[in-house]
């Protein structure tokens, strides 16, 4: 019995030679390629925390959250201007206006911004505003979009598809790499499983992190917000992701602000700034203990 389409990790050198650790001689080692988005370095010694609202819903809300995540110590701002929604009748984001608001938030806080692009015809436009382009889960295998993202010259945050195997995910990254763009950061965000919906939104799959690191030199981060879908799991999931070796976190944050109201999208998974502080303290303490261990070793 022969099954069409069956591939395994052994096929990766053929599927994605440009990003395969086994193929690229320079990456025989266990080193990670450092990907830069403005001043932010993914894959370096310290995990990167990206935080911000799910969606840019208004100027007030976005600036309030941006200030709060900056104060908490996040290094980069996230926020959706173009939002993929299950229903076409749901709020689809503010579009270009959302990009303007994000730019203003960057000016004020100094945080570089990452935001999603869904349409290959808009890659150039979004790239004018953003420091890093996000390809969302629904579009992980939207190949024309990946090609445009590759051509944009911007660093790309490539989320894992909801049911993507590791081979499919790295194959998607190869589409970007083939356009000459190796500035790619992978992002695990939970997968579909039988248990999804009972106590969490998706199933956070941390084991994929060391598997990614074994197969490619690209950095990999974790989105604890979409993978759990439950705000009071986000801190634990964040710390666990760091303990599992993640190069960073992508976190949704909501906060009170002038004219405050609950966010329209995914309110149930957003954390407040205080919780974000706890996560950053956890990272600090791990960095310190590493330095201490090294000092001891000397």
Residue count, binding to a second copy (CB under 8 A): 85
Q: Which stretch binds a second copy (CB under 8 A): 21-29, 55-63, 64-72, 236-244?
A: 236-244
Q: Is 278 in the site for a second copy (CB under 8 A)?
A: no
* CA distances for 50 relative to 41, 130, 173, angstroms: 12, 14, 20
- Can you tell me which of 79, 98, 171, 219 binds a second copy, judged by CB under 8 A? 171
Binding mask 243-262 for a second copy (x = CB under 8 A): xxx-----------------
Residue 257 tokens read as 């602000």
Residues 108, 66: Cα–Cα separation, whole Å: 9
Residues 138, 161: Cα–Cα separation, whole Å: 6
Binding mask 45-84 for a second copy (x = CB under 8 A): ---------------------------------------x
Q: CB of residue 84 vs a second copy: minimum separation in angstroms?
A: 6
* CA distances for 16 relative to 56, 161, 173, 177, 210, angstroms: 35, 17, 8, 9, 18
Of 54 and 101, CB closest to a second copy: 54
The separation between the first and the last C-alpha atoms of the chain, rounded to the nearest angstrom, is 59
Q: Is 264 in the site for a second copy (CB under 8 A)?
A: no
Exposure of 220 in the CB half-sphere (CA atoms within 13 A): 26
**Which residues in the 195-214 window bind a second copy by CB under 8 A?**
195-201, 203-211, 214
Containing 135, the helix (H) or strand (E) segment is strand 132-135
Q: Is 233 in the site for a second copy (CB under 8 A)?
A: yes
Q: CB of residue 144 vs a second copy: minimum separation in angstroms?
A: 4
Residues with Cβ within 8 Å of residue 46, at least 6 apart in sequence: 283, 287
Binding mask 149-168 for a second copy (x = CB under 8 A): ------------xxx-xxxx
- Can you tell me which of 58, 61, 227, 275 binds a second copy, judged by CB under 8 A? 227
- Work out the angle between the directed axes of helices 234-243 and 273-297 (0-180°, nearest 10): 20
Q: Is 22 in the site for a second copy (CB under 8 A)?
A: no
Q: Is 2 in the site for a second copy (CB under 8 A)?
A: yes
Tracing tokens 């349409």 back to the chain, one arrives at 119
Q: Which DSSP letter does residue 82 get?
A: S
Q: CB of residue 13 vs a second copy: minimum separation in angstroms?
A: 11
**Which residues in the 118-137 window bind a second copy by CB under 8 A?**
118-121
Q: Is 230 in the site for a second copy (CB under 8 A)?
A: yes
Containing 122, the helix (H) or strand (E) segment is none
């Amino acid at each position: 019995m022969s099954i069409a389409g069956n591939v395994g990790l052994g096929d990766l050198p053929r599927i994605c030679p440009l990003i395969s650790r086994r193929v690229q001689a320079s990456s025989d080692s266990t080193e990670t390629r450092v990907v830069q988005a403005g001043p932010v370095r993914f894959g370096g010694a310290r995990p990167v925390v990206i935080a911000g609202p799910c969606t840019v819903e208004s100027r007030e809300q976005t600036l309030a959250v941006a200030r709060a995540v900056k104060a908490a110590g996040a290094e980069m701002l996230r926020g959706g201007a173009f939002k993929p929604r299950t229903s076409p009748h749901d709020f689809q984001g503010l579009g270009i206006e959302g990009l303007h608001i994000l730019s203003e938030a960057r000016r004020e806080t100094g945080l570089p911004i990452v935001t999603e692009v869904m349409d290959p015809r808009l890659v150039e436009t979004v790239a004018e505003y953003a420091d890093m382009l996000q390809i969302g889960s629904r579009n992980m295998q939207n190949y024309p979009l990946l090609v445009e993202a590759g051509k944009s010259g911007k660093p790309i945050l490539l989320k894992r598809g909801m049911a993507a195997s590791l081979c499919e995910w790295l194959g998607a990254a190869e589409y970007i790499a083939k356009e000459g763009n190796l500035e790619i950061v992978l992002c695990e965000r939970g997968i579909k499983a039988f248990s999804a919906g009972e106590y969490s939104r998706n199933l956070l799959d941390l084991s994929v992190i060391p598997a990614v690191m074994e197969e490619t030199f690209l950095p990999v981060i974790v989105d604890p917000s979409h993978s759990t879908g439950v705000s009071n799991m986000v801190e634990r999931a964040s710390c666990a992701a760091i303990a599992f070796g993640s190069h960073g976190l992508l976190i949704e944050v909501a906060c009170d602000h002038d004219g405050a109201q609950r966010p329209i999208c995914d309110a149930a998974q957003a954390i407040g700034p205080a919780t974000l502080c706890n996560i950053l303290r956890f990272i600090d303490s791990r960095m310190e203990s590493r330095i201490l261990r090294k000092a001891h070793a000397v």
